[in-house]
């Protein structure tokens, strides 16, 4: 097995595969990794990776802390320790909480609850390495359409504005007999949208 060295400007048939493998390694590591793990991946493909080569690779860049990251991914997104990602995770929690309180006594209601859970789970991964990249991705996760996702995002934002991040318990509203979600879309409205979606699929 021959180890060879190439520069960033050289192109070989193996370099596309190497780049794909390096990106996969970065994703597996949560979006960031040191040079040594990347070099080890390249070595299994008979490439003697250098920092100069990484500098010239599309989609990979060096972060100020010295790790290599996937371009377009901000450090911390995989661990959800920034304000934007924390907010989406809180909205997802609120939507899941809402879904858990919905009627699920029949198949239609259960499907609606499952759809909201799917959308919420996908929203909770927004801005993470493996999260959705578009509203279409979120819709796919909930087996619904973009219009419904927008309605749920708006509703989730309203809940967040009203109650904050209740995952910590500090901002959790007291339980009472009133339905705290009365100001959101009704179950009937969500059901109507789901019926519209189903009828369009049948066409």
- Number of other CB atoms surrounding residue 57 within 10 Å: 18
Per cent of the chain over pLDDT 70 is: 69
Distance, in Å, from the CA atom of 28 to the CA atom of 202, rounded to the nearest integer, reads 39
What digits encode the pLDDT tens for the residues 32-80? 788 998 999 888 888 888 888 888 787 788 877 678 887 754 443 334 4
Predicted local confidence at residue 162, as pLDDT: 92
Give me the pLDDT at residue 156, please: 92
Residue 8 confidence (pLDDT) above 80: no
Q: How do residues 136-149 score in pLDDT, each as one tens digit?
A: 989 999 999 999 99
What pLDDT is stored for residue 174 in this prediction?
45
Q: What is the DSSP letter of 57?
A: S
Cβ neighbours of 162 (radius 10 Å): 13
Report helix, strand or coil for 59: coil
User: What are the extents of the domains in the chain?
Assistant: 13-70, 79-202
pLDDT, residue 143, reads 92
Task: Report the distance separating Cα 81 and Cα 98, nearest Å.
Answer: 24
Predicted local distance difference test score (pLDDT) of residue 166: 84
Query: What's the average model confidence in pLDDT over 175-187?
Result: 54
Tell whether the model's pLDDT for residue 115 goes beyond 90. Answer: yes
| pLDDT over 90 percentage in the chain | 15
Does the CA dihedral 200-194-159-131 come out positive or negative? Answer: negative
Q: Which of 6-10, 160-164, 186-190, 192-196 has the lowest mean pLDDT?
A: 6-10
Contact between 69 and 75 under an 8 Å Cβ cutoff? The reply is yes
Q: Comparing 128 with 1, which gets the higher pLDDT?
A: 128
Query: For residue 195, how many other CB atoms are within 10 A of its CB?
Result: 12
| Helices assigned H by DSSP within the chain | 13-28, 35-43, 51-55, 83-100, 107-123, 135-142, 146-163, 187-202
């Amino acid at each position: 097995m021959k180890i060879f060295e190439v520069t960033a400007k050289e192109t070989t048939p193996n370099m596309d595969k190497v780049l794909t493998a390096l990106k996969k390694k970065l994703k597996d590591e949560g979006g960031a990794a040191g040079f040594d793990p990347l070099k080890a991946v390249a070595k299994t493909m008979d490439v003697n990776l250098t920092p100069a080569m990484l500098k010239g690779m599309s989609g990979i860049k060096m972060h100020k802390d010295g790790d290599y990251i996937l371009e377009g991914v901000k450090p911390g997104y995989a661990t959800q320790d920034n304000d934007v990602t924390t907010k989406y995770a809180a909205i997802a929690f609120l939507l899941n909480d809402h879904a858990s309180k919905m009627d699920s006594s029949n198949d239609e209601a259960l499907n609606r609850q499952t759809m909201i859970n799917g959308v919420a789970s996908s929203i909770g991964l927004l801005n993470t390495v493996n999260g959705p990249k578009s509203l279409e991705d979120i819709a796919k996760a909930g087996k619904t359409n973009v219009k419904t996702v927008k309605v749920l995002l708006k509703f989730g934002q309203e809940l967040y504005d009203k109650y904050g991040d209740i995952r910590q318990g500090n901002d959790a509203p007291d339980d009472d007999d009133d339905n705290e979600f009365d100001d959101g879309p009704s179950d009937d409205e969500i059901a109507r949208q789901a019926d519209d979606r189903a009828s369009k699929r049948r066409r």
